[in-house]
Amino acid sequence: MSDFHTLRLHAGLSVAEAAELTGYDERTAYRWESGEAKPRKSVLEVLQARTPAPPVELSEPPAFRFIDLFAGIGGLRRGFETIGGRCVFTSEWDRFSQITYKANFPHDPHPIAGDIRNVDAADIPEFDVLLAGFPCQPFSLAGVSKKNSLNRAHGFADETQGTLFFDVARIIAHHRPAAFLLENVKNLTSHDRGRTFEIIKEVLQERLGYHISYRTVDGRAWTPQHRERIFIVGFREPTAFSMLDLPIPAERPTLASVLHGFAEIETPETPYSEGPAGKAAAKYTLSQHLWTYLQNYAEKHRQKGNGFGFGLVGPNDVARTLSARYHKDGSEILIDQGKGKVPRRLTPRECARLMGFDQPGKPPVRIPVSDTQAYRQFGNAVVVPVVEAIAKHMEPHLMEALANDRETERAVA
């Protein structure tokens, strides 16, 4: 009996479903099934991640309960677990993100719900804090440009993504949590000449009655990457909380803290790094053809006075924003490998570090998906240390709100 066969059965998948999930054709999957051929390690890891883990009995009650909407690979969740929160509901529609999420939170007693539009708010268990990185494509500069070129609607006129904010609103309206944290791209405030953000504020403040505070935060203070995102915090009851008071670290890390062969947390890891020094694997070096194309493309736009081009950086530098399109050519963050040498992409492990998922003293995040999917997932993620800082900033106000709720419940009882 092959390992593929065993893991496929444990995951509850047919051969065809397993083939689709791992990105191979059905004929290849049947060869794995029969033992005629052996699949790559990454294939087995994908199936392993789909295998349900036994629930863990949690004896101690959490400080608070939260739900993780548009969860991606759990970046917001990681921040709020550091202050004693427990996730009681997760929603994420992308099947590959679900794989990574399950691999890193294998003992959740609750399944991952798919499309939040199909979830009745009454079916979500009671919670104290709502976390939601609602889809940013309808509001981002890149997303708006793409939709305009396709003559498609964007913002709240986009029925498939823009209106997902209203699913967040209906869940808040039903459960009335003590607090929430919403995350989006910085362009949210200027989209449609500010009208989109005015609607969001009107819904949260006037219709739902929450007291909100928001701020655009650059992850640069925590990791070596310029990544500006807006964070909106809301409390149901009046509070002195303000995002403007969020402490920002004075230290500014460089790429040496995340690059293979430089980082203190380096451990050689196939297939991302190789050799005793743990340097990046050779496969991440660009082809000469792609490198020539990127140089010519940059020069063409330079002559036109445009700023388009690749971003070439070294260990003492800071990266541009990692995007979900990084898998295509890696052009926004190329690592200089020395004079006369072709640069390379970041590896998925380096992306995990750049986004703060991997930190000294903590287990590295599991990456059970292909490089292409990993780049997309980290490019869509939040900078975890930023969320940790916001959670810690919210903590005393949240604990006070929850204590008041409990006191009110006792008085009513």
- Where in the sequence numbering do the catalytic residues fall? 136
Collapsing DSSP to helix, strand or coil, 390 comes out as helix
| Encoded amino acid at 328, one letter | K
CB 135 within 8 Å of CB 93: no
User: Which string of b and e fits 13-39 if b means at least 16 CB within 10 Å?
Assistant: beeeebbebbebeeeebeebbeeeeeb
The Cα 244–Cα 135 span in angstroms is 24
Own/partner pairs for 275-280, CB < 8 Å, 24+ apart?
280/335, 280/344, 280/347, 280/350
**Residue 216: exposed, middle, or buried by beta-carbon count in 10 A (0-12, 13-18, 19+)?**
middle
The Cα 105–Cα 101 span in angstroms is 6
Task: Please give the structure tokens belonging to residue 401.
Answer: 């709100």
- Minimal CA–CA distance to 72: which of 52, 98, 47? 98
The residue written with tokens 């390690």 in the block is: 41
The Cα 338–Cα 399 span in angstroms is 52
| Encoded amino acid at 263, one letter | A
